[in-house]
Amino acid sequence: MDKVVDALRAAPSVAVLAHVFPEADAIGATLGASLALREVGKVTAAYNADPLPPELCSLPGATEVVREVPIARPYACYLVLDTSNLERTGGLLSGRPAGAVVLNVDHHAGNSRFGDVNWVESEASSAGEMVYRILRRGGFPISKAVATNLYAAILTDTGSFQYGNTTPEALRAAADLVESGAAVEEIAAWLYGNRDPREWYLLGEVLATLRVSADGRLAWIEVTSAAQARAGLGLEVTEDFINYVRAVRGVQIAVAFKEVSATQVKVSFRSRGDLDVARLAGQFGGGGHRNAAGCTLQASLTDARARVLAAASTYLQPDL
């Protein structure tokens, strides 16, 4: 962490970015870092290759997130957050100037260490927690806007402080951020109380696809392109749909199949306890955390479902 802090102190300009298909940890950490660095006089901006989910658009600074690939203007330093490999930046770094320093800050165990400086800590609850620690170690100010973004990041990646990654360190960071002015009630409203009615229509159609294996340990849902078209919404609103599957009694592995096109399917995994779905996702070129992971298959929905469910069923066998 100290090398990251030193690099940020030395850099006159910093681009802050995170992975494609961003969620609250990626965006909250990105905005928290960008705003804090700006407050100490750095030339900085927040970037992402994909659009923000609607529930994140009210976070402080969200309207300033730049969506362009690659990043057009040169920076002395590129702070990459919550991103396990270079490909997950969506091409944002492809135009970086020679000599620019890439800082890789992530909590995915399978991180490829693609940066010039790498701080990878799989025990951290979230990228938001890691940014919080950077700011505190470096003596950077934590304003209300910064605190709000980082609190949102920690809140969501710990499942509202329900998942196994809700560590004492995560709770201490969250408490300090509340003391620093994090808008707790507003965050809850933005993230959980401001949904488009069409999202519920889509959720209802998706939950109708819920299936559970004969032994009750594996369950899955499907988000088809046709369902998205009927709702007039994209996959960015479906990030939390899998939580309903994970909540089914007895389910140990939950899977969501999300049809991007006729030949591409995104797959999300959630698990309980010691079941490491990052290993399962890794069989298909993906990755993530022990209890939350994902991958993308170049296949039809039917083919992807068959391949993934076969692998998940095998993974659940007691001798593996």
The total number of residues shown for the chain amounts to: 320
Q: How far is CA 252 from the centre of its chain?
A: 21
User: What pLDDT is stored for residue 95 in this prediction?
Assistant: 85
**CATH number of the domain encompassing residue 299:** 3.10.310.30
Q: Both 226 and 289 in a single domain?
A: yes
Amino acid making up residue 22:
P
Please report whether residue 13 resides in a domain: yes
Q: Both 187 and 209 in a single domain?
A: no
Sorted by sequence, the CB contacts under 8 Å of residue 264 that are 6+ apart come out as 296, 297, 298, 299
For residue 210 the two structure tokens come to 């819920």
Q: Both 185 and 265 in a single domain?
A: no
Q: Both 220 and 300 in a single domain?
A: yes
**CATH number of the domain encompassing residue 27:** 3.90.1640.10
Final residue in a domain of this structure, among 192, 225, 243? 192
Final residue in a domain of this structure, among 192, 223, 243? 192
Please report whether residue 255 resides in a domain: yes
Q: Both 267 and 289 in a single domain?
A: yes
Give burial (CB, 10 Å; 0-12/13-18/19+) of 11: buried
Please report whether residue 16 resides in a domain: yes
Please report whether residue 320 resides in a domain: no
Please report whether residue 145 resides in a domain: yes
Q: Both 175 and 214 in a single domain?
A: no
- The tally of domains found in the chain comes to 2
Q: Omega before 60 cis (within 30°)?
A: no
User: What pLDDT is stored for residue 273 in this prediction?
Assistant: 83
Please report whether residue 119 resides in a domain: yes
Which residues span the domain enclosing 167?
2-192
Q: Both 54 and 133 in a single domain?
A: yes
Paired with 15 in beta bridges are: 45, 78
Final residue in a domain of this structure, among 173, 192, 211? 192
Give burial (CB, 10 Å; 0-12/13-18/19+) of 63: exposed
User: What pLDDT is stored for residue 320 in this prediction?
Assistant: 44
Contact between 82 and 26 (Cβ < 8 Å): yes
Please report whether residue 227 resides in a domain: yes
Digit-by-digit pLDDT tens for the chain (320 residues) are 999 999 999 999 999 999 998 999 999 999 999 999 999 999 999 999 999 988 899 999 999 999 999 999 999 999 999 999 999 999 999 989 999 999 999 999 889 999 999 999 999 999 999 999 999 999 999 999 999 999 999 999 998 998 889 999 999 999 999 999 999 999 999 998 888 899 999 999 999 999 999 999 999 999 999 999 999 999 988 989 999 999 999 999 999 999 999 999 999 999 988 899 999 999 999 888 888 899 999 999 999 999 999 999 999 986 44
Please report whether residue 123 resides in a domain: yes
Q: Both 183 and 36 in a single domain?
A: yes
What are the angstrom distances between the C-alpha of 277 and each of 7, 205, 209, 272, 300?
34, 26, 22, 9, 22
User: What pLDDT is stored for residue 318 in this prediction?
Assistant: 65
Q: How far apart are CA 36 and CA 164, in angstroms?
A: 29
Q: Both 187 and 41 in a single domain?
A: yes
Q: Both 78 and 45 in a single domain?
A: yes
Q: Both 203 and 272 in a single domain?
A: yes
Q: Both 8 and 150 in a single domain?
A: yes
Contact between 224 and 301 (Cβ < 8 Å): yes
